[in-house]
Amino acid sequence: MSISVLVGAQWGDEGKGKMIDYLSRDCDLIVRFQGGDNAGHTVINEHGVFKLHLIPSGIFNKGGECLIGTGTVVNPDVLEDEIKQIEDAGVRMSGLKISGKAHILMPYHQKLDELMEAAGGIGTTKRGIGQAYSYKALRKNLRFEDLLNLNSARKKLEAILPVINNQMRAYGAEDYTVDFLYEKCEKWAERFASMIVDPIRYLHSYIDADKNILFEGQLAAMKDIDLGIYPYVTSSNPTAAYAAVSGGFSAKKIDRVIGVAKAFSSAVGAGPFPTEEFEGDIDLIRGKGDKPDDEFGARTGRSRRLGWLDIPVLKYTNLINGFDTLALCKIDKLDNLPEIKVCVAYELDGEVIDYFPNTEELERVKPVYETLPGWMCSTKEIRRLEDLPENAKKYIKTIEELVGTTVGYVGVGPDREELAV
């Protein structure tokens, strides 16, 4: 048996979908353990190009099952659309299960997100994720297990809606009615009841049978609500330990933590981003948005903020996750650069610091760069780490030495098989 957890090691959009798709071939169960449909995990394989928002990226693994886990918030309408997209590509969905303890993202969550962003927000995806998690903490949500008892679901809606509608009125928006939402619950129950499982019994049946389990994180450690750049964060915990917390098993059972990083840095939304640059060589990486691996958000379509690789970020996310190995994606995007800058430290108020600063300090830091030689040749066809160009190997070695972990996978293109191992 092996339990592995894969998480983003930077700011999100690192290539987690590609890596899950690749690694899931050796797994019996893949679990998406937090987040909602603000995620955008791009998967490119023999079935086509997919931008997955809720369904685990291992759904294309014919030999295993997938679980949308307890720590997620799930918009059932988005899930229905995503299932159809995958089924239309000829992929079976019988192996997809939903935790009965996963929270349902309701229409009013998304509406409140839109209203709050319009009043002055942080650049959310307006999918209602933060609102769903907020009402989870207030004990004012429905969970998927409520769809198995619609009479109980209706009573809960009757208790929840006065609170919701008071907030709607504060923004000048219309009330929601119990009848409207109950009709949606009836539809969702008909569609998803057969997929809902008791997550504790289900997951532990795999653990007890010594199966291989892979947990898939959404976004990245720098967006963790507790350990990230608060308040410019998501509303959940995309760090490795939360896989055990939301999964209901001992963290001592985790065998391997895989961090996924780009060979440079990117971010979406507001907040500090120390290595950000707006022109020059770094902008050559962006693309025009007509290719699936161009630097535009899979969920929002927004152009991503770009910067050079940030070693202090990777050291920090390694510290809070404990990476056994890194997957370094999109190194091919650097193929044509004669020189590559790497941020090796931060300078704060005139002094180089040896710790990761808080959010306000991070706004003020200046990156300390080292410049490494590029390799000026294509890496797209390389499938073994030892066959990479010498300067690419030196780039990777520098990362390993500074971060304090190994690089076990190197992405050389967007497709599942475009990987050097």
pLDDT tens, position by position, 113-161: 999 998 887 778 889 999 999 999 999 999 999 999 999 999 999 999 9
176-187, pLDDT tens digit by residue?
A: 999 999 999 999
Active-site residue among 13, 21, 113, 224?
Answer: 13
**DSSP code, position 366:** E
166-218, pLDDT tens digit by residue?
A: 999 999 999 999 999 999 999 999 999 999 999 999 999 999 999 999 999 99
The reply, when asked if residue 368 is annotated as ligand binding, is no
Contact 225, 237 (CB under 8 A): yes
Cis peptide before 231 (omega within 30 of 0): yes
The dihedral formed by the CA atoms of 98, 192, 133 and 135, expressed in degrees to the nearest 10: -140
Give me the domains of the chain, ranges plus CATH numbers. 2-101+196-257 (3.40.440.10), 103-192 (1.10.300.10), 261-420 (3.90.170.10)
The reply, when asked if residue 288 is annotated as ligand binding, is no
- pLDDT of the residue at 293: 78
The reply, when asked if residue 128 is annotated as ligand binding, is no
The reply, when asked if residue 177 is annotated as ligand binding, is no
The reply, when asked if residue 234 is annotated as ligand binding, is yes
| Helices 150-170 + 107-118 axis angle, to 10 | 10
pLDDT band at 317; cut points 50, 70, 90: very high
DSSP-derived 3-state class of residue 225: coil
Active site residue 53: no
The reply, when asked if residue 413 is annotated as ligand binding, is yes
- pLDDT of the residue at 208: 97
- pLDDT of the residue at 232: 95
16-39, pLDDT tens digit by residue?
A: 999 999 999 999 999 999 999 987
Active-site residue among 21, 28, 41, 113?
Answer: 41
- pLDDT of the residue at 300: 65
Neighbouring-strand partners of residue 346: 353, 367
Active site residue 41: yes
Q: How far is it, in rounded angstroms, from Cα 344 to Cα 9? A: 16
Measure the CA angle with vertex 189, ends 185 and 193; round to 5°.
150
Model pTM score:
0.94
Contact 4, 318 (CB under 8 A): no
The reply, when asked if residue 126 is annotated as ligand binding, is no
Task: Give the pair of three-digit tokens for residue 301.
Answer: 């379509």
DSSP-derived 3-state class of residue 2: strand
Look over the chain and give the mean of its residue pLDDT values, rounded to a whole number.
94
Q: How far is it, in rounded angstroms, from Cα 291 to Cα 286? A: 10
Q: How far is it, in rounded angstroms, from Cα 99 to Cα 67? A: 7
Measure the CA angle with vertex 80, ends 28 and 51; round to 5°.
65
Question: Which residues in 209-255 belong to E strands, given as ranges?
Answer: 212-216
- Of residues 79, 189, 187, 93, the one with CA closest to residue 145: 189
